[in-house]
Chains A and B, each alone.
Chain A
Amino acid sequence: MICKELTKYIDPYLDDELSVIENLRVQAHLVFCGKCKAVVKSEVSLRSLIEADALEDSAPDHLRERILKQIGEQSQPERSQALGLLNSRPRAFFAGLLAGAVTIGLIFSLAVYFFSGLPGDVSPLAAEIVGKHQIYSRGEGNLQLRSSNPLEVASWLRQRLDFPVKLPQLARPGERLVGARLSSISDEQAAFLLYERAGHRIALYVFKAGPTHLFLGTPKSVAGIQFFTSTLAGYSVVWWEDQDRYYAAISDRGINDLVEFGLLCVRGRTF
Chain B
Amino acid sequence: MGHGTVEDPHKRFETYVLPYLDLLYRAAIRLAGQEADAEDLVQESCLRAFAAIDRLRDIESCKAWLFKIMRSTYLRQWGEDQYRQRVVGVEDLESTLADMTEVLQDPYESDPLYVHVVGVEVRKAISALPLPYREAVVLADAVRFTYREMSQILEIPLGTVMSRLYRGRRMLRAALRDYASRGHGKQRAV
Identify the A interface with B (CB < 8 A). 3-4, 7-8, 10-12, 15-17, 35-36, 38-39, 41-43, 45-47, 49-54, 56-60, 63-64, 66-68, 70-72, 74, 76, 79, 82-83, 85-86, 90, 102, 104-105, 107-108, 160, 181-184, 189-190
Known: A50-B141, A64-B18. A181 touches B25 (CB 8 A): no
What are the nearest 10 A-B pairs in CB distance?
A82-B51, A54-B142, A59-B25, A50-B141, A53-B122, A59-B21, A182-B36, A58-B22, A42-B108, A42-B111
**Distance, CA A255 to CA B26, complexed state (A):** 41
Partner of B42, one of A41, A59, A83: A59
Cα distance, A110 to B95, chains bound together (Å)? 43
| Set B40, B50, B176: member contacting A71, Cβ < 8 A | B50
- Cβ of B65 under 8 Å from chain A: no
Task: Tell me if A79 and B123 are in contact (CB < 8 A).
Answer: no
Q: How many A-B residue pairs have CB under 8 A?
A: 147
Which one of B83-91, B164-172, B182-190 is at the interface?
Answer: B164-172
Q: Let me know if B51 and A184 touch, CB within 8 A.
A: no
Q: What is the bound-complex CA distance between A245 and B189, given in angstroms?
A: 34
**B10 touches A (CB below 8 Å):** yes
Task: Please tell me if the beta carbons of A104 and B141 are within 8 angstroms of each other in the complex.
Answer: no
B93 within 8 A of A: no
Chain A residue at minimal CB-CB distance from B145: A15
Which residue of chain B lies nearest to A16 when distances are taken between CB atoms in the complex?
B146
Q: Is the CB of B43 within 8 A of A63?
A: yes
Enumerate chain A residues within 8 angstroms of B60, measured Cβ to Cβ.
Answer: none
Quote the shortest CB–CB distance from A140 to chain B (angstroms): 16
B16 interface hit (Cβ, 8 Å) = no
What residues of B have a CB within 8 angstroms of the CB of A184 in the complex? 34, 36-37
One digit per residue, 1 when the CB lies within 8 angstroms of any chain A CB and 0 when it does not, for chain B 40-77 equals: 10111011101110000000000000000000000011
A64 to B43, CA, bound (A): 9
Q: Which of B14, B36, B147 contacts A15 (CB 8 A)?
A: B147
With A11-B162, A11-B169, A57-B25 known as contacts, the answer to whether A49 contacts B147 (CB < 8 A) is no
Do residues A56 and B119 form an inter-chain contact, with CB atoms below 8 A? yes
Residue contact A49 to B117, C-beta cutoff 8 Å = yes
Interface secondary structure of A, over-half rule: helix
Q: Could you list 22 A-B pairs, sorted by A, with CB under 8 Å? A: A7-B104, A8-B100, A11-B169, A17-B146, A50-B122, A57-B26, A60-B39, A63-B43, A67-B43, A70-B47, A71-B10, A71-B13, A71-B46, A71-B47, A82-B51, A102-B47, A104-B40, A104-B44, A181-B36, A183-B36, A184-B36, A189-B36
Contacts of B26 in A (CB 8 A): 54, 57-58
Determine the distance from Cα of A156 to Cα of B94 in the docked complex, in whole angstroms.
49
Cα A66 to Cα B104 in complex, Å, equals 49
A39 near B103 with CB under 8 A, answer: yes
Q: Is the CB of A11 within 8 A of B36?
A: no
Which of chain B's residues 125-143 have a Cβ closer than 8 Å to chain A?
A: 126, 137, 140-143
Is B141 touching A47 in the complex (CB atoms < 8 A)? Answer: yes
B80's nearest neighbour on chain A, judged by CB, is A90
CA distance A89 to B88 in the complex (A): 26
Residues of B within 8 A of A15 (CB): 140, 146-147, 165
Cβ-defined contact, A38 with B147, below 8 A: no
